[in-house]
Structure 1
Amino acid sequence: MTVNPYERRLKMEERTEASKFGPSSRDPAGSGTPLAFPPIDNGLDYLVMVVDHLAPEHGEKPGPRQLKYVVLHLQAAAEVLLKARLEQEHWSLVAEKITERRFSRAKFEKGDFTSITPGEAVRRIRDIVGFEITAAEEKSLDTLAKTRNALQHYGLTETYESVEALTAKVLDFLIRFLYEALYPDVQALAAAGDDVLQDLEYISAGANRMHTYITERLERIGPSLEGLAARTVQCPRCFHNTLVVEHNRASDPHLTPRCRFCHVEWLPFALAYEYAVIHNSGMATGDVPTCSGCGSSRAVAREVIRVCDLPPNPEDDGPLPEFHSFGSVDFCFECAAPVTAPAPEG
């Protein structure tokens, strides 16, 4: 079934009696138009907007303003859908302080409570609901939440490629979550109706277009990475194994960590910090060794997996399935070398 995006949008507006183009025809003044978006419908609509902005069937790449809304809508969708599943389990699971004496169902229905963080929602989905969320999926969701927070407070500094790569991974998880956790059987999907089925197909088609572009781009840049495996690691923004610690210019004596896929660049110490945060490889500064090659300690990250540490034929170039299942080294992003202990004196 092919879904026309314009027809899909009209159906959504009919379903909610509201229009993004202005007041409903049923309420010309707009004064009584209901804002009727149940949680799952709300989450699906956010995802449709993500696809509209980032993976249109025809059109140019989105500009900075559209990328901003991709991040905001995607994070909103993830949070809404995770909490919708928790509410199905029990309404109180969405609240931060379940045991607070003044908390009640009446306050919950009025929205008069403090909701849980996205990270806590992931934990409760996994530990209380019992739905499996892999380490790679949790990493993508965590990165999305941090990107959204940075956008709100400091502005968006991501590239189109990094946003698209992260979006494709989060969409993959949310599509699986929708089918397996929110609509786990044929009866549930049938009860949801044609509108939900069309939304799911529209979102899946957009995710497929992203993956097609990503695959083609990885194939194009593959030859440029040959011979650089010892100084190439997984990028903490797009999660592809395409981040190379290299000279920005031949005349520049300093090395610059730069991702060949998403074009994001770091100062060495900033990458060491971000790598540790994203990969949870330890942040205790007293535990970070000093590089014997350049004397740096703040540009060193623990347990770094380089491309040369990976199996000869990895199945894909996406997030590593289990970080600690591969060999790793303490790595200096200042000089692009494993950290070795200083030679003993005397």
Structure 2
Amino acid sequence: MTDQTAPKDPDGPEGTAEQVPTSAAVPSQAEKKTKRVSQRPDVSYTPVSNGLDYLVSVFQHLTEGATPPSARDLKYTVLHLQAATEVLLKARLAREHFSLVFADPTQATYDAWQKGDFKSCGTLDAFDRLRNIARLTIEEEDRKRIKELSDHRNALQHYGLTHNAYAIEARAARVLNFLITFIHRHLIPGLEPAEAQYVEQGMDSFRLQLRGIETLVKQRMNDLRSELAKLADVTVKCPDCEQWAMIADGRDEGPTCLFCHQVWPEDPMSAAANYAWIVLGLDEHSSFQDGGDPPVVECPDCGVCALVTEAVTAAGRPGATPLCFSCGTVFKSLIDCEGGCGTVLDFAPDGESIPMCSNCIDIRFARF
């Protein structure tokens, strides 16, 4: 009879059959998760490096894309330039004291600061606190430009924006100029050596690229030089692009900027009010509170309330030259009506005429 017993394993224990290998234990899902190593680094930016990264994006959109920059490039220029401004201003403010970054510093706690669980102040609040509390030397003109940038950003973010491309480029160049100076004077001196070196390296590139943007702006102004020279007596700084290229000469289409092509069609009163407020920093309410004359009055020639009495023209700067944004008349001898009605007169004393408007003359001499 044939032996049906399985052969013995000569290497195994005596009397055992051939051993079948068992399967390896399968690790649990929990064990797998603990052993998995992430292949992606954490997102980590200091406030300063975060601000610089936004600036890198700004310069990329202005200089490395289409020539001239596309509408999309300019959109992200506005959004990222505003973000860079806010982050860098607050980074310097936090160095003064972390509580100053809170919307309400009296409610600040260090725990909330560490967690980032708080409402921070606005960009303009940060600017004002840096100037008034940290006592940094930063100019009111820069505040105006940052406010305009914030307004553009809010419009883009929340309900859309239609604005002139040349004006956006020119304004961006000015805010960039401010930020580069701000970083150099107020941020770098207080950084740790390693971060200071990193920032300085970025600054070299920023300065070079900004020079290129400013060159484009200057080239466009140079192209307009001969045309603007003929109109210097009615040329003022544009409230949109801040170039000396806004013409108020009574043209049919209304006051027009030759640089950014902004036009106030058939609305010289709005153009005059915008110029007085944005460029000169004057508004009727403040003038009334201070006991002064309104910045925009009715023109003696055309009767439209578009005469800016303290306008500064390219031909007359730095002095004031009364200019009507409706008819383009430049006045040399304006006086207030002696009847006390507030009317402005173009009056040159001749020893015979009465310095009064016709209404006041009629009222005063009606009884005769």
Alignment-derived partner of residue 262 in structure 1: 260
Is residue 216 of structure 2 the alignment partner of residue 213 of structure 1? yes
With structure 1 as the length reference, what TM-score do the two structures score?
0.77
What displacement does 1:43 show? 0.6
- Which secondary structure state, in structure 2, belongs to the residue aligned with residue 328 of structure 1? coil
Q: State the Cα deviation string for residues 294-323 of structure 1 (Å, max 9, x = none).
A: 2222x344522111221xxxxxxxxxxxxx
Match of 2:224, SS state, is helix
Could you say if the C-alpha distance between residues 27 and 66 of structure 1 is closer, same or farther in structure 2, counting changes exceeding 3 Å? farther
Matched, 1:289 2:303: no
Alignment of 1:166 with 2:171, yes or no, is yes
Q: 1:69 aligns with which of 66, 76, 81?
A: 76
Question: Which amino acid is the alignment partner of residue 327 of structure 1?
Answer: G
Deviates more, 1:233-242 or 1:133-142: 133-142
- Distance in 1 between residues matched to 2:307 and 2:153, nearest whole Å: 27
Q: Could you report, residue by residue, the CA deviation over 1:226-247 in whole angstroms, capped at 9, with x for unpaired residues?
A: 2211211001122111111246
Pair 1:278 & 2:302 matched: no
Equivalent residues of 1:245, 1:255 under 8 A apart: no
Decide whether the 8 Å contact of 1:245 with 1:256 is kept in 2.
yes
Q: Distance in 2 between matches of 1:161 and 1:189?
A: 39
User: Which of the residues 45, 69, 73 maps onto 1:37?
Assistant: 45
1:229 to 227, 232, 236: 232
Alignment RMSD: 2.4
- Secondary structure of 1:148's counterpart equals helix
Give 1:224 shift: 0.8
1:1-346 correspondence to structure 2 within 5 Å: 27=38, 33-56=41-64, 59-100=66-107, 103-184=108-189, 188=191, 190-192=193-195, 194-246=197-249, 254-266=252-264, 267-279=267-279, 280-284=281-285, 287=294, 288-297=296-305, 299-301=306-308, 303-310=310-317, 326-338=318-330, 340=334, 341-342=344-345, 344-345=357-358, 346=361
- Compute the displacement of 1:35 (Å): 2.5
Give the 3 Å change call, closer, same or farther, for CA 73–231 of structure 1 in structure 2.
Answer: same
| AA of the residue aligned to 2:128 | R
Q: CA deviation at 1:338?
A: 4.5
Judge which range, 224-233 or 267-276, deviates more. Answer: 267-276
Q: Give the percent of matched residue pairs that are identical in Structure 1 and Structure 2.
A: 36
8 Å contact from structure 2 (residues 304, 326) kept in 1: yes
Aligned amino acid, residue 62 of structure 2: L
- Give the direction of change, closer, same or farther, for the CA distance of 1:184–1:129 in structure 2 (3 Å limit): same
Alignment deviations for residues 182-224 of structure 1 (CA, whole Å, 9 cap, x no partner): 1127xx4742165433322222121010111122221111001
For 1:322, the equivalent position in structure 2 comes to none
Q: SS where residue 103 of structure 2 aligns? A: coil
Q: Which 5+ residue runs of structure 2 have no aligned equivalent?
A: 1-36, 289-293, 335-343, 346-355, 362-368
Aligned-pair CA distance for 1:157: 2.1
Q: Counterpart amino acid of 2:260? A: C
Describe the shift of the 1:109–1:336 C-alpha distance in structure 2 as closer, same or farther (beyond 3 A): farther
Tell me the TM-score normalized by structure 2: 0.72
C-alpha separation between the residues in 1 aligned to 2:276 and 2:112? Answer: 40
2:89–2:126 contact (8 Å) kept in structure 1? yes
**Alpha-carbon shift at residue 255 of structure 1 (Å):** 4.5
Higher relative contact order (CA 8 A, sep 6+): 1
Q: 195-204 or 68-77, which moves further after superposition?
A: 195-204
The answer as to whether partners of 1:282 and 1:302 remain within 8 angstroms in 2 is no
Q: How many residues align?
A: 292
Tell me if the contact between 2:250 and 2:328 (Cα under 8 Å) persists in the aligned partners: no
Distance 2:67 2:182 in 1: 30
Contact 1:162 1:237 (C-alpha < 8 Å) held by counterparts: yes
- What one-letter code is carried by the residue in structure 1 that aligns with 2:262? V
Give the distance between the partners of 2:53 and 2:141, measured in 1 at CA.
25
What amino acid does structure 2 have at the position aligned with 1:208?
R
Contact 2:234–2:330 at 8 Å: present in 1 too? no
Assess if the C-alpha contact under 8 Å between 1:276 and 1:283 holds in 2.
no
Contact persistence 2:253–2:263 (CA under 8 A): no
CA 306–78 in structure 1, closer or farther in 2 if over 3 Å, else same: same
The amino acid of 1:282's aligned partner reads: D
Greater mean alpha carbon deviation, residues 237-246 or residues 335-344: 335-344
Secondary structure at 1:295's aligned position in 2?
coil
Cα distance in 1 for partners of 2:327, 2:68 equals 36
